[in-house]
Amino acid sequence: MGRSRRTIPEELLLLALDPATGTTAQPQSLDLGLAGAQLVELALAGRIAPDGDRIAVILPRPTGDPTLDTALELLRRRGSPVRAVHWIGGPRLGLRQTYLTHLERCGMVAAVENQMCGVLPTTRYQATDTAVSRQIRARLDTAIRTGTPPDARTAALAALAHAVGLGKHLYPGNEGRSSRSRLRDLIRHDPMGGLVAHAVMDVQNGVAGQVAAAAARRAQPSAAPRKAARTPAPAAMAVVGQSSQAPEQLRRRGVTRAAVHPSLSH
């Protein structure tokens, strides 16, 4: 049997699992959400803390959760606080599969092998311990229905669910519009969850790439100064210097008007 309390990445993944199809909703943005959920869980464990729009490691001691500890060690190796958008937007190959496999080992889901179009092998995951999934959903529903400020874990989970687009999956149709709106409003009840959720949405909107490009431009050395203009030839200098003299002086020296201003001879 699984633990009585799941981590926020696990809870987010269980919310995204469709019990009818065994697939996950919003798979692309869900990967970003899982990376963000790791940050929230590490913050709740006292290992990291927000530093403006950056994440700083304040206690590098392992948590005992292998997946979280891998993320914590990667953050520690950075040596300095990292922008949330850069961390979430970085490569996270296999993170969703890692958590699905972990939930399978814990008895929370069961892998079902199948074939797509009768040829390509596929794996779907059906929730087996539905009581935990119902408890997670009930916490969100209660926060949305009552409007009472939720605990930090529930607020962060709601913020991430909204950020990855699970609102329409959890509260579909026109009848779920007000619930989706209140789900979005829960983002303000947890500072870390809000920071991470906004970073997830920024990555989806391409802001992370823009920030990285701007940082790269600032890091480049300034362009080399332009070469000095070529020194005019002596003859040209003579004419240019004479052009500022009075016409009468030029005539006495034998310089015609056309020589000073060639365009005037046409």
**Structure token pair of residue 78:** 């950075």
Output the pLDDT for position 43: 97
What is the separation of C-alpha 31 from the centre of its chain, rounded to a whole number of angstroms? Answer: 11
Bridge partners of 49, per DSSP, are: 56
Lowest model confidence (mean pLDDT) among 11-20, 154-163, 189-198, 225-234: 225-234
Parallel, antiparallel or unpaired: strands 48-51 and 82-83: unpaired
pLDDT digits (tens, 9 = 90+) for 173-217: 999 999 999 999 998 888 999 999 999 999 999 865 565 566 566
Q: Give the three-state DSSP class for 55.
A: strand
pLDDT over threshold 60, residue 22: yes
pLDDT digits (tens, 9 = 90+) for 53-88: 999 999 999 999 999 999 999 999 999 999 999 999
Work out the burial of residue 219: count CB atoms within 10 Å of its CB; fewer than 13 is exposed, 13-18 middle, 19 or more buried.
Answer: exposed
pLDDT digits (tens, 9 = 90+) for 234-264: 443 333 344 344 444 434 444 444 443 444 3
**Global model pTM greater than 0.75:** no
